Structure 1
Amino acid sequence: MSDETKTQEPYWKGKGYSFFCNRACEYFPCHPTDDPENFNCLFCYCPLYALGPDCGGNFSYTESGVKDCTRCTLPHRRDNYGYITSKFQEIARRMAESRRRGV
């Protein structure tokens, strides 16, 4: 296979900082999964929660309006590290907007 036909892997792929599986956790896995070997605990508390309906995950809202991420495994899939980190600038932008509005 030539260099031209090789698929370029993301810079984080295979790096230790992009995946952590905590099987010793009393809540592991915190969401149903058919693939516990690739269950990423790195984003135990999803940083995308703050994006509300724009997070990209499988969520719903409770009757009282609280975002319910019980069925979402987006932050827990090994291959989604890049997706999660790509959203950090959006989160920072929204936080800056909130500060400007005094929220």
Structure 2
Amino acid sequence: MSENYKFFNHKNCEYFPCHKTNKPEEFNCLFCYCPLYALGKNCGGNFKYSENGIKDCSNCLLPHNKNNYDYIMSKFQDIIKITSKED
């Protein structure tokens, strides 16, 4: 089975690459906006919080690594839990 859906490299994007990398040919643009941002400190990425409490992911390549598709998909249940309406 083909796994081409796990990787997309958009070299023509005006922001490509949006993070510094030495391997632009392996930069995955599939998750242009990281779906794990909402998980805060539990996202698993390389982030820091600014002085005013804003999550800064500018040094994080987790969603852009061509091998991390399965990791990101494994976190969707966690995203659903924090975004669900609690009764």
User: Separation in 1 of the partners of 2:86 and 2:75?
Assistant: 20
Match of 2:11 in 1: 23
Match of 1:91 in 2: 79
State the percentage of identical aligned residues: 59
1:54 Cα deviation after fit: 0.3
2:38 partner letter: A
Q: What number of residue pairs does the alignment pair up?
A: 87
Task: Give unpaired runs (5+ residues) of structure 1.
Answer: 1-10
Runs of 4+ displaced beyond 2 Å:
none
SS of the counterpart of 2:59? coil
**What TM-score do the two structures reach when normalised by structure 1?**
0.80
Match of 2:21 in 1: 33
User: Separation in 1 of the partners of 2:69 and 2:22?
Assistant: 19
User: Separation in 2 of the partners of 1:42 and 1:18?
Assistant: 7
User: Separation in 1 of the partners of 2:64 and 2:24?
Assistant: 10
Match of 2:56 in 1: 68
User: Separation in 1 of the partners of 2:51 and 2:82?
Assistant: 25
User: Separation in 1 of the partners of 2:67 and 2:4?
Assistant: 13
User: Separation in 2 of the partners of 1:100 and 1:88?
Assistant: 17
Higher helix share: 1
User: Separation in 1 of the partners of 2:48 and 2:82?
Assistant: 21
Partner deviation per Cα, 1:28-81 (whole Å, 9 max, x = no partner): 000011111110000000000000000000001111111000000000000000
Q: Once superposed, what is the RMSD of the aligned Cα atoms?
A: 1.3
